[in-house]
Amino acid sequence: MMRRTSLWFTLAGLGVAVFVACSADPPVNRKYAPYGSENPYTGIQDRSGNWNQGYNVSQNSEIRQATPYNTQQTQSPSSIYSQVNVRKDYLSYGSRGRSRKSMNPQYITIHSTQNWSKGADANRHALALKRGALGRISWHYTTDEYRAVQHLPTSEQGNHADYDGPGNRYSIGIEMCEHPGNSRSATLERTAKLAAWLCLKYDLPASRVVPHYKWPRHGKKPPNKNCPHFLLNNGRPGTKWANFVKVVDVYRRRMGGR
């Protein structure tokens, strides 16, 4: 009998982090040191310790990647969206985080929160945004192991990448939680499914799913942020990021994307 997969960690070697929104340049809480079981094949820590569920590991592969089960199966867009478990909780129209500027998304930007406070899940981030605790910073979705909370319509610009640059003007921002006890593998898989669904919705290839690193922030040193930090190799997109995009593309193709 075929085991149901967690397609994500399947190809992976991932990791993710941004403050309450790795936007412009939020502070990093260094009081909390990441913990948990490290995947010996990817080097990524999963705080739940369940890094290997649903994966076949190739011992002979040079980079020792895992391989997903049943990558050719088809799933409807509504089924994938249901698995993401999206809860809409929009910022009020008059809040500082609402740009009220229309957007035709051309990219999907992935962040990680770097918020390692206890209980800093997607719901807590939604509350912080609604209370104005982050000023004008805003993004579209926050994902954790259980859900994705949507804060803005995807047709409206957020303020999560590069001030008034193309990252804000043309991309949907997704923040991944990494608080104590949160399953990184489950969060990554949920994020990959959400990104794939958005790619299908806006007719985008998986290559348009990009890290925050892609968008330089003028006046900052370095201009390109190490975000999402656990999906980058030495602060730059490499094999970990490429593997994440592969997972997004598998889900996109499962839904009929070309």
Contact 240, 14 (CB under 8 A): yes
Q: Where are the domains of the chain?
A: 7-22+37-254
- How far is the C-alpha of 156 from the C-alpha of 101, rounded, in Å? 6
DSSP designation for 229:
G
CA 208 to chain centre: 13
The tens place of each residue's pLDDT in the chain, 258 residues long, gives 333 445 544 443 333 333 345 544 433 333 322 323 333 323 334 444 333 333 332 332 322 333 344 556 899 999 999 999 999 999 999 999 999 999 999 999 999 999 999 999 999 999 999 999 999 999 999 999 999 999 999 999 999 999 889 999 999 999 999 999 999 999 999 999 999 999 999 999 999 999 999 999 888 889 999 999 999 999 999 999 999 999 999 999 999 987
Q: Which amino acid is at 151?
A: H
Model-level pTM greater than 0.85? no
Using DSSP's 3-state secondary structure scheme, residue 63 falls into coil
The CATH class given to the 7-22+37-254 domain equals alpha beta
Q: Which amino acid is at 242?
A: A
- How far is the C-alpha of 135 from the C-alpha of 256, rounded, in Å? 39
Q: HEC profile for 135-173? A: CCCECCEEECCCCEEECCCCCECCECCCCCCHHHHHEEE
- How far is the C-alpha of 72 from the C-alpha of 244, rounded, in Å? 17
Phi-psi region of 2 (alpha: psi -120 to 50; beta: other; left: phi over 0): beta
